[in-house]
């Protein structure tokens, strides 16, 4: 059975001013990982980035009509995996249909999901009841 | 978004006085750059010494500025980039789009 060593659970209003807070949590956690043998500073930046992108995405897709809407972010550090889940209550989107960026004709948007896919090991998006979940995994080698 | 602007060697230099460019402030950055260009400052160097973090929207804002300057026959270059920030440009191949200089002297020498 997997043992959860650390779990962080944060709920924020759907406002971009909280991105710094969420990203900073990821950055701090990366520095605390005992089992990670890779470049810790790079991982710190990548977790900051991935959490920032995923939370921005959730805020964008949230139901703007509801001022009390929130985004929930959970981070779990397991023995061999870092698990991130970002929950929103918006209309959702089709992760599979998000294209790769066109590197020869770069556009101003559409790079967020690319970052998450490139820097992490697994990304899925699912809907259960009225809640969407973006689940991101980074294996800790 | 805290930005200090200075005219140097015929360039409009924008010193970004923020540690973070993300979806919270990237639109301000984009608007600021576009306003400078519309005011006739078509050759710009964005000095990123203090920026420790940039996300996709931050890259997008700089790219928008680059395209806007190019459309007016000007140029937007970048300087003093921290290593991790530079790695975001490499990951998106935007280092092939922008001229990226070590410091302002390097930018002025090569752009003049």
Q: ipTM, 2 decimals?
A: 0.95
CB contact under 8 A, A20 and B59: no
Residue B8 has a CB neighbour count (10 Å cut-off) of 12
A2 Cα to chain B: minimum distance (Å) = 32
Residue range(s) defining the domain that contains residue B100? 3-111
CB contact under 8 A, A109 and B97: no
Q: What's A6-139's CATH class?
A: alpha beta
Q: How far is CA A47 from CA A11, A44, A56, B78, in A?
A: 18, 5, 14, 25
Q: Which two tokens stand for residue A2?
A: 């997997």
Total structural domains within chain B? 1
Q: Give B40-92 pLDDT, tens digit per residue.
A: 999 999 999 999 999 999 999 999 999 999 999 999 999 999 999 999 999 99
- pLDDT at residue A118 in the model: 96
Closest by CA to B22, choosing from B51, B65, B64, is: B51
Q: How far is CA B7 from CA A76, B46, B112, in A?
A: 49, 12, 14
Q: What is the CATH number of the domain that holds B50?
A: 3.30.750.24
């Amino acid at each position: 059975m997997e043992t959860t060593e650390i779990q962080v659970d944060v709920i924020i209003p759907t406002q971009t001013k909280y991105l710094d807070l969420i990203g900073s949590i990821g950055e701090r956690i990366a520095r605390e990982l005992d089992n990670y043998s890779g470049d810790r500073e790079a991982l710190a930046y990548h977790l900051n980035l991935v959490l920032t992108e995923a939370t921005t995405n959730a805020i964008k897709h949230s139901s703007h009509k509801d001022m009390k809407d929130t985004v929930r972010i959970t981070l779990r550090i397991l023995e061999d995996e870092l698990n991130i889940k970002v929950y929103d209550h918006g209309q959702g989107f089709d992760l599979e249909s998000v294209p790769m960026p066109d590197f020869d004709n770069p556009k101003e948007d559409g790079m967020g999901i690319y970052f998450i896919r490139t820097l992490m090991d697994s990304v899925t998006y699912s809907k259960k009841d009225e809640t969407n979940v973006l689940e991101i995994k980074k294996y800790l080698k | 978004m805290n930005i200090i602007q200075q005219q140097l060697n015929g360039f409009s230099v924008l010193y970004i006085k923020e540690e973070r460019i993300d979806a919270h402030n990237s639109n301000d950055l984009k608007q600021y750059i576009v306003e400078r260009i519309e005011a006739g400052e078509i050759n710009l160097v964005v000095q990123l010494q203090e920026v420790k973090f940039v996300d996709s929207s931050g890259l997008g804002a700089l790219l928008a500025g680059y395209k806007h300057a190019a459309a007016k026959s000007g140029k937007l270059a970048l300087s003093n980039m921290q290593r991790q920030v530079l790695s975001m440009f490499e990951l998106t191949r935007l280092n092939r789009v922008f001229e990226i200089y070590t410091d302002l002297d390097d930018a002025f020498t090569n752009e003049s």
